[in-house]
Structure 1
Amino acid sequence: MSAPHSLSAWIEGVGLIAPGMPDWAAGAAVLTGRAPFQNAPSVLPAPLLLPPAERRRASRVVRVALASGLAALEHAGIEATTVPAIFSASTADGHNCHALCETLASDDHRVSPTRFHNSLHNTPAGYWSIATGAMCASQSLCAYDGSFSAGLLEALVQAITSQTPTLLVAYDAEYPEPLFAVRPIPDAAGIGLVLSPVQTPRSLARIAIALTDTPPDPLAEPTLDTLRTAIPALRGLPLLGLLAAGGPGCVALEYLAPLSLSVSLDPC
């Protein structure tokens, strides 16, 4: 039985980077059928806000997290230094994990300090603070394929309890072989959402969520739904599709089985 909606806030800004959808404007057109989906590798902007040394070390997972989060804040017209942030991903840096495994499987087991600190799940949050100068609190979450919903739930809780706009950054990036064989994430992707506890002139829609036992909703377009299931961060695409369509509605997003996250939107 579905529970009544109990958490609500307002969406102020959106960021999107995904295969065939380099930004939110392109993604909105694809998700509403105004433009055809043409699968292409994700375009990850260079992390120009980082100092040169950190820029060279920034992995694909760091780059997609920074870019999607910054795009959402720019859309909302909010400075990064003023908002707490929730970083949610099903994985960490797959290429770095592969390199660490190669080192540990070799005769020389010495792991470089850079490799080690880039292996931590909160590495994107650390690069975020370096790039933006943000001193607000951040959290780094992981809930496997339910990571988008876990991050959305936490971001709404934070926005409501702290009574301040909160940024959600949900992201993932690919693994190389042989890890790809058991975790076949094909590319990097990220969704950024700025959530406000109060309505503002820039608010896009009111969002309300609750846990439910309703199965997750697929996307109507089969190729897009394949993308949704292939990259865990893109489990949020049905929500973005609803937002892009501009009308009220409700979707169920994948969470921790047997639960889903019921999300309803009312446009402003």
Structure 2
Amino acid sequence: MSRAYIAGIGLQGPGLAGWTDSLGVLRGERPRDALATAIPMPALLAPNERRRAGLVTRLALAVAEEALHHAALPLDSVRSVFGSANGDGQVVLKLLETLAEPDRPLSPTQFHNSVHNAVAGYWSIAAGSAQPVTCLGGYDATFGIALLKAVSEAVAERMPVLLCLYDAPLPPPLPDLPARDVIFAAAFILLPERPDACLGALDVTYAAEAATFADAAPRDPSLAALAMNNPAAMSLRLLESLAMEQTDRFALPMLDGRVTVEVSPCR
């Protein structure tokens, strides 16, 4: 079992515009307004990077920046783990369309945006960070894989780790799975030691036993529907528990195994 502490959170999704503004929804105090997500342009991107950055890059960097500011940590001080099931499907589709046409050269910008670690590259440049970065994808198990990696790294390296999860639907005619019809992103700052401003403690354990969506579904039906439609939104059960400052235990699918998460309030 590995224990880490959460010091900052970033959040963007339909009706979830930032961690602080979303607390009422996550606590069940008001309904979620399922409007399309308005993704803010990350302030830390330079003009050149802003022109090149696609939707998923803006989405991921917005929550990463919010989480770092929430934790009051310098942007260049944390190791990072980025998790996405789809990557940038918009760019992949544009490349495929280009390849299907005769004599249409590939755009270098589109090509470098198509790789799975493109978002992490934009983050490292924008944050001026030379810290290690890991990029992961595991279909619907992406959150479990990325969370286990991030917590383990924070504990083993005794350093803060940014865990950033993001996904957007693939445009047609590409398959509409696993991010089915909504965009969503969440970011967490994980520390090996309890900070003064602690949002919650996580005990994470891996076991070679299968888990299902029901083992990690959010309590609120509206949030559960959102989690079913985006792998990154599987983090909503954790976000609910942290918002309510409530002890919780759930299991995330991780391929043929499971990642069991125990959440404890810091109060």
Whether TM exceeds 0.5 here: the answer is yes
**CA offset at residue 252 of structure 1?**
1.9
Distance 2:2 2:41 in 1: 36
Aligned partner of 2:264: which letter?
D
Residue 128 of structure 1 corresponds to which residue in structure 2?
123
Query: Is 1:232 aligned with 2:231?
Result: yes
Distance 2:106 2:141 in 1: 31
Q: Relative to structure 1, is the Cα distance of residues 101 and 156 closer, same or farther in structure 2, using a 3 angstrom cutoff?
A: same
Q: Which moved more, 1:90-99 or 1:176-185?
A: 176-185
Query: Structure 2 length normalisation: TM-score?
Result: 0.93
Contact 2:10-2:64 within 8 A present in 1 as well = yes
1:4-58 deviation per Cα after TM superposition (whole angstroms, max 9, x unaligned): xx11111111111111101112332212111111101112111232221210111
Match of 2:124, SS state, is helix
Distance 2:254 2:44 in 1: 33
Contact 1:48-1:55 within 8 A present in 2 as well = no
134, 151, 159: which one pairs with 1:156? 151
Q: Which moved more, 1:246-255 or 1:76-85?
A: 246-255
Residue 198 of structure 2 corresponds to which residue in structure 1?
203
**CA offset at residue 108 of structure 1?**
2.5
Residue 114 of structure 2 corresponds to which residue in structure 1?
119
Name structure 1 gaps, 5 residues minimum.
Answer: 1-5
Query: Is 1:50 aligned with 2:42?
Result: no
Aligned partner of 2:205: which letter?
A
**CA offset at residue 183 of structure 1?**
4.8
**CA offset at residue 127 of structure 1?**
0.4
Residue 258 of structure 2 corresponds to which residue in structure 1?
260
Residue 3 of structure 1 corresponds to which residue in structure 2?
none
Distance 1:105 1:228 in 2: 34
Match of 1:118, SS state, is helix
Matched length: 262
1:222-242 deviation per Cα after TM superposition (whole angstroms, max 9, x unaligned): 222111010110111101111
Q: Relative to structure 1, is the Cα distance of residues 256 and 108 closer, same or farther in structure 2, using a 3 angstrom cutoff?
A: same
Distance 1:127 1:184 in 2: 22
Distance 1:157 1:115 in 2: 33
Q: Which moved more, 1:159-168 or 1:22-31?
A: 22-31
Query: Structure 1 length normalisation: TM-score?
Result: 0.93
95, 102, 124: which one pairs with 1:100? 95
**CA offset at residue 188 of structure 1?**
2.2
Q: 1:1-268, aligned counterparts within 5 Å?
A: 6-181=1-176, 183=178, 185-212=180-207, 213=209, 214-215=211-212, 216-257=215-256, 259-268=257-266
Aligned partner of 1:241: which letter?
E
**CA offset at residue 196 of structure 1?**
0.5
Runs of 4+ in 1 over 6 A off after TM superposition: none
Q: Relative to structure 1, is the Cα distance of residues 225 and 116 closer, same or farther in structure 2, using a 3 angstrom cutoff?
A: same
**CA offset at residue 182 of structure 1?**
5.1
Q: Relative to structure 1, is the Cα distance of residues 181 and 75 closer, same or farther in structure 2, using a 3 angstrom cutoff?
A: closer
**CA offset at residue 218 of structure 1?**
1.8
Name structure 2 gaps, 5 residues minimum.
Answer: none
Distance 1:180 1:41 in 2: 21
Distance 1:207 1:42 in 2: 28
Aligned partner of 2:154: which letter?
A
Distance 1:208 1:128 in 2: 28
Contact 1:60-1:188 within 8 A present in 2 as well = no
Distance 2:122 2:161 in 1: 18
**CA offset at residue 211 of structure 1?**
2.4
